[in-house]
């Protein structure tokens, strides 16, 4: 299978079945792979400015309405498993060493 031309659903199936265990950068050409960030409302404007000032390390694709802790409400038919919910954990969080320009609390 050519993973560059594969559909996101095909790639997710390979991952679910442990047939794909590498990074997914460059796969599903024409689709965007992204992370989902959820913040307290008081931090949202600063984070938006942070993304604007650091578009390479933190591109901003969308802003949702206030009040939802996780995203299934917005994409109920996307067939995307939400591992932290399935395993009863909090959302994943990461620390990076990529230098960025500050904005507010970020």
Domain edges within the chain: 1-33, 38-106
Average pLDDT over residues 2-23: 92
Nearest to 106 by CA among 66, 52, 36, 64: 52
Amino acid 44: pLDDT: 92
Q: How confident is the model at residue 74 (pLDDT cuts 50, 70, 90)?
A: low
| Residues listed for the chain | 106
> Is the model's pLDDT at 88 over the cut of 80?
no
> Is the model's pLDDT at 92 over the cut of 60?
yes
User: What is the rounded CA–CA span in Å between residue 58 and residue 84?
Assistant: 22
User: What is the rounded CA–CA span in Å between residue 38 and residue 12?
Assistant: 23
* Mean pLDDT of the residues in the chain: 83
What is the model's pTM?
0.55
Question: Which whole-number Å values give the CA distances from 44 to 12, 30, 55, 60, 104, in the listed order?
Answer: 30, 28, 16, 12, 10
């Amino acid at each position: 299978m050519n993973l560059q031309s594969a559909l996101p659903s095909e790639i997710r199936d390979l991952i679910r079945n442990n047939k794909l265990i590498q990074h997914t950068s460059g796969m599903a050409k024409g689709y965007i792979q992204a992370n989902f960030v959820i913040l307290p409302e008081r931090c949202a404007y600063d984070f938006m400015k942070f993304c604007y000032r650091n578009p390479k390390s933190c591109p901003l694709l969308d802003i949702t309405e206030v009040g939802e802790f996780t995203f299934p409400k917005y994409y109920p038919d996307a067939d995307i498993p939400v591992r932290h919910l399935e395993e009863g954990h909090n959302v994943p969080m990461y620390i990076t060493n990529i230098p960025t320009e500050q904005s507010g609390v970020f």
